[in-house]
Homo-oligomer: A and B are copies of this chain.
Amino acid sequence: MSKNRLEAFSDGVLAVAITLLVLDIKVPPISSPHTLGHDLLHMWPTYAAYVTSFITIGIIWINHHAMLGRLRETDHTILVLNLLLLLSIGVLPFATSLMAEYLKQSQGEHLAAAIYAGSFLLMSIFFLTLNRHILFAKAHLLGLQLSEEQRRSIIKRSFVGLIPYALATALSAVSPYITLTICFVLAAYYALPLASADEGH
């Protein structure tokens, strides 16, 4: 299978997943006892989770292309590892909705936050696994020459990128707001020009 086809399919799944996030922003029911303004303000965790997830998926899209950009061709293992990565991205609309709903009601919010950050962590692990496979196990498929040192450095940075998500997951036991803040700050950090090194995620 050509690399282009793999990119096109991955782009499709990412584009659908990122756009489906909007379905989590539900129109407040007309029958609500409060004013629309009150209801919309009360929904702030939904907006925070939406923006965080949207930017995170967008960053993953950018990094995904940097990763595949090094490939000359693909093999079955790359296709399957990529499928697992897409699977972990595909569940983000659910994790985002879960986080927002339960944070809003202050009920079960610690578990919801753990699942939210845990989904990002899982996605990062699948990303690291695929990246590692491409850079080492399948180095002969690479289109451009990278020294052993350069490749180790890329993986190391990817590995360091897991730590904040592991922290965000663990700290959900303390407060879901800390979890959401870490995830949002990470998304903003990777979006900033300074962090444009493509392997941060």
- Tell me the A residues contacting B by CB distance below 8 Å: 1, 5, 7-9, 11-23, 25, 27, 30, 35-37, 40, 50-51, 54-55, 58, 61-62, 65-66, 69, 76-77, 79-80, 83, 86-87, 90-91, 93-94, 97-98, 101-102, 105, 107-108, 111-112, 115, 191-193, 196
Contact = CB atoms under 8 A, between A and B. Distances in A.
A74 B24 CA distance: 31
Given A27-B101, A36-B102, A87-B54, A17 B14 contact: no
Contacts of A192: 80
Given A13-B15, A15-B16, A20-B23, 9 more contacts: A12-B14, A12-B16, A16-B16, A17-B22, A27-B97, A27-B102, A51-B87, A55-B83, A58-B87
